[in-house]
Structure 1
């Protein structure tokens, strides 16, 4: 209770020792600062329900460790299952036929592009910028139309150029592709908003970088398929082999860090994987060269591992005899000559590139992820992260395989498609008729066709010309 002089204090304590002070000033106004009475319990720790349990301090770390173990176990199981799924899809599509591999490469292109673009699309949504995502997909479609069209026209001229509907698209394909791109360019300029110019131009550059690093390089992987399944399968397997042995050699005897972008990569693992990749490349090449399904260019998209393909093998797959220079001729215990196909020398170069250069595609991807402070490009593959995380080295390896093949291995000769293209683009209709007549007469002289075929063509082509 307060006393009569107006400056008194009273404090009442509860049985638990909580205070409830009251103050009165000289003017007679009272200010109270109430504090809820809180029961105090002598607890050292509580469970999830808020109450103490026995041996809590002992069981806590064990439960935490067990939880982490279960999480790692589940991640490992998921990763292993999806690894088997990817292996099954890869080999199943490869044996089913070239068209199925092309479909998978197309899907990889689109998913990888989506993952890379998604990194920069988050701020665009925050800024409420219109048409940013639409333009990204438009440029992807335009680029794929141009690249796919180039491949189809190049490898299937004998089909495309004789079709009345496809002929205009084939002869004017590049101009159509250019105009489609210009339309996107104009639309981008028209969508620029004041105050966001720098950001939008950054997005424009980012989109084109993704198109070049993913879509364009994947296009050359597709061309490798048309040239022969071996030129697709070998580069892919070399990268996978190098990645596996880099991990094995690294954890076995790796000591020296290779690059700061990937702290777990070691020099010992890098070199050890190079040696192992060369050895496996020689063995795998020796097996694949025996099957025409792998070494023949695609002339039938309906072919599969059971129907096979027929062609005249590229000379690179035919064994040649080489003299061993450092063995004297009078030595009879050691062979002085060896029969080796030139492809075995080429695989040495390809294995070296897959081991020493292709991993920098992965380092580039690691630097890109560190720039945006992300662990993976996405979660397209459960347990493995994004599609781009698995394909970062494959893109540059496929690009190299195409360039190397075209520069040192491909045999250039006249084809039915190239002859038809030259006749269509370089001759008038009257001159094309004369070419057909001349070919018919030549085939008759060679005994390939009868005289009735020549007479029929001469009569009907002459009448068509008059009309």
Structure 2
């Protein structure tokens, strides 16, 4: 095969009409706007040689006169403008994110100090918004958008689940109020049956709404809805119970997760080198371990501060209480300091302390901090995997600059769930309460037996000097009169 010699192209003199020139000018402008490169043109009718280093005509760009062709300077200007616009966008996003961070912090602390009912409202709003976001990412097929009752069923199951869970909490913590009210009593005593029948009605309605050709989509939606209910609503229910048990059991888990997230970022960018998990490429082992240590230290300090205020450590017995009115209760033994003998210090070593006085809560916070650092982040990894599955960056845009509510709460749900289970298993003190006694009397005794209990309690209080003889006589006469009428 013979070697091809260099080819020389001679430019031809072209005559174009004004309209043709304008047309070409528009085409060139379009080419510039699209960033397309144009071949070098010969000017002044000279012969254009191909670059000897290439077998094809060279496409290197040179500056030209007002011919309408893109130049290297123009490309550089365009790139600079793009970088400037991107930097401006990042700056704007940073300030938006910072502003809404302070807004959320202000709302959170304001609600916490205003009273438990306001924190309950916030938790309720969070779980509803998170449920909406998770349901929305299931990518409803276009042909299924015309299906009726799909969204209606999703919200119906949400309402039914919240009715059951909220009812369980209210009945458990406020028995002394609910069970003595004539209107609320039937709903309280039959709450679980009512909740079950509501769910069954939704189940029957779902089966009746199945349409041929859409079975797969409808059953996928049914399963997706129940997964969202479990991962969000059920776990948020236990966070609600933490609030009722005492503000400290709500605030500490939330603070530990936020602290761990902050220090994981700081330690990661400072000395992080080893990738932790592929789902989150920016997470490092060094940041993971460093955040664990920092979270334990801050957990000790924060617990020591919160234990001094009964507003945080007392269970809720008045939903109208706030930081100014406070709460009164007998503190849980876990908050009372104890003296412990150090097992690793010999008794004859007088120059070292052999005993230490500390509240048992400090040991418990070490375990809770460890969970917040080593286990709770996997809730975030789970959310990252879910977003990658559906090829989305965020669950939504509920919070400007932060993405969706679920993006901020992915670790909080599992942490709140753990805090409740740990509290009930190792910290809670189980004893008879006014609500439990009233519940037992109402559900297990006949009206005649209940009156005997009232008279017995009245006599006991009289013997203790708590009530006068008039109260005892009044109850005795009126209860006997009522029994005769029956």
Q: For the residues of structure 1 that align with 2:100 and 2:17, how far apart are their CA atoms?
A: 62
Listed one character per residue, the Cα deviations across residues 194-216 of structure 1 (whole Å, up to 9, x for unaligned) are 11112111110000000000000
Question: Which residue of the other structure, out of 208, 211, 215, is the alignment partner of 1:197?
Answer: 215
Which is worse superposed, 78-87 or 327-336?
A: 327-336
1:249-328 equivalence runs, <5 A: 249-328=267-346
Let me know the Cα RMSD of the aligned residues: 2.1
1:359-370 equivalence runs, <5 A: 359-370=377-388
User: Counterpart in 2 of 1:25?
Assistant: none
User: Counterpart in 1 of 2:188?
Assistant: 170
1:290-439 equivalence runs, <5 A: 290-439=308-457
Listed one character per residue, the Cα deviations across residues 333-356 of structure 1 (whole Å, up to 9, x for unaligned) are 211110010000000100000000
Question: Which residue of the other structure, out of 206, 209, 216, is the alignment partner of 1:188?
Answer: 206
Question: Which residue of the other structure, out of 98, 107, 112, is the alignment partner of 1:94?
Answer: 112
Question: Which residue of the other structure, out of 431, 451, 466, is the alignment partner of 2:469?
Answer: 451
Q: For the residues of structure 1 that align with 2:293 and 2:23, how far apart are their CA atoms?
A: 72
Cα distance, 1:43 vs structure 2: 6.2
Cα distance, 1:363 vs structure 2: 0.4
Q: Secondary structure at the match of 1:174?
A: helix
Q: Secondary structure at the match of 1:425?
A: helix
Indicate whether 1:242 and 2:260 are aligned.
yes
User: Counterpart in 1 of 2:41?
Assistant: none
Listed one character per residue, the Cα deviations across residues 12-43 of structure 1 (whole Å, up to 9, x for unaligned) are x972399xxxxxxxxxxxxxxxx978754596
User: Counterpart in 2 of 1:211?
Assistant: 229
Question: Which residue of the other structure, out of 112, 122, 129, is the alignment partner of 1:104?
Answer: 122
Question: Which residue of the other structure, out of 78, 83, 90, is the alignment partner of 1:72?
Answer: 90
**TM (normalized to structure 2)?**
0.87
Q: Secondary structure at the match of 2:316?
A: coil
Cα distance, 1:142 vs structure 2: 0.2
Unaligned runs of 5+ in 2: 1-12, 35-66
Which is worse superposed, 207-216 or 190-199?
A: 190-199
Q: For the residues of structure 2 that align with 1:167 and 1:289, how far apart are their CA atoms?
A: 36
Unaligned runs of 5+ in 1: 1-12, 19-34
Q: For the residues of structure 2 that align with 1:128 and 1:43, how far apart are their CA atoms?
A: 46
User: Counterpart in 2 of 1:151?
Assistant: 169
C-alpha change, 1:124 and 1:104, in structure 2 (3 Å) is: farther
1:126-141 equivalence runs, <5 A: 126-141=144-159
Cα distance, 1:74 vs structure 2: 0.3
Q: For the residues of structure 2 that align with 1:57 and 1:313, how far apart are their CA atoms?
A: 71
Which is worse superposed, 212-221 or 439-448?
A: 439-448
C-alpha change, 1:125 and 1:210, in structure 2 (3 Å) is: farther
**TM (normalized to structure 1)?**
0.90
Which is worse superposed, 227-236 or 51-60?
A: 51-60
Cα distance, 1:120 vs structure 2: 2.0
Listed one character per residue, the Cα deviations across residues 313-332 of structure 1 (whole Å, up to 9, x for unaligned) are 00000000001112121222
User: Counterpart in 1 of 2:40?
Assistant: none
User: Counterpart in 1 of 2:15?
Assistant: 15
Q: For the residues of structure 2 that align with 1:92 and 1:124, how far apart are their CA atoms?
A: 43
C-alpha change, 1:417 and 1:124, in structure 2 (3 Å) is: farther
User: Counterpart in 1 of 2:55?
Assistant: none
Is the CA contact (8 Å cut-off) linking 1:234 and 1:285 kept in structure 2? yes
Is the CA contact (8 Å cut-off) linking 2:114 and 2:322 kept in structure 1? yes
Q: Secondary structure at the match of 2:141?
A: helix
Is the CA contact (8 Å cut-off) linking 2:144 and 2:217 kept in structure 1? no
Q: For the residues of structure 2 that align with 1:182 and 1:174, how far apart are their CA atoms?
A: 12
Is the CA contact (8 Å cut-off) linking 1:124 and 1:132 kept in structure 2? no
Indicate whether 1:441 and 2:459 are aligned.
yes
